[in-house]
Amino acid sequence: MTRTVAGTHDKADTAFRTIGELSRETGLPQHILRYWETRFPQLRPLQRAGNRRYYRPDDVALVRRIDALLNREGYTIKGVQQLLASKAATPAVAADSGAGAAIDAAPLRAIRDALAEALRRDAL
């Protein structure tokens, strides 16, 4: 699948992005992307001669995740650092595209309530 990046030619989702391309695609200034590299050790784009950065698809997904946590969900830099560190220490339950997928707790509550009811009946 290809997507058009504003001001550039079509690029595959799996293609590497320069910092300028990623900046245009996400709407984040380049200096913010460079700052995040100093704050989040998980964000390490390839660097070529002249310190030219190339963001892999995983880096792009991480940038989108960090952006969502900081700018839409209200986390602080320290909070995102802790969240990413804890996610790295534990395996993910399900892969997500960095969009912050929410878990529907209703089926889990129904199971909990059914188990509690069964235990209550068993105790009688």
Query: DSSP for 53-70?
Result: EEE-HHHHHHHHHHHHHH
Model pLDDT for residues 67-98, shown as the tens digit of each residue: 999 999 999 999 999 998 887 765 544 444 44
pLDDT computed for residue 99 by the predictor: 46
User: Which long-range contacts does 8-14 make (Cβ < 8 Å, 24+ apart)?
Assistant: 13/57, 14/57
| DSSP classification of residue 11 | E
Model pLDDT for residues 13-55, shown as the tens digit of each residue: 888 999 999 999 999 999 999 999 999 999 999 988 888 999 9
With 0.85 as the threshold, say if the pTM is over it: no
C-alpha 17: how far from chain center = 17
Distance CA 112, CA 35 (A): 44
Structure tokens at 115: 């188990």
CATH architecture of 2-123: Orthogonal Bundle (1.10)
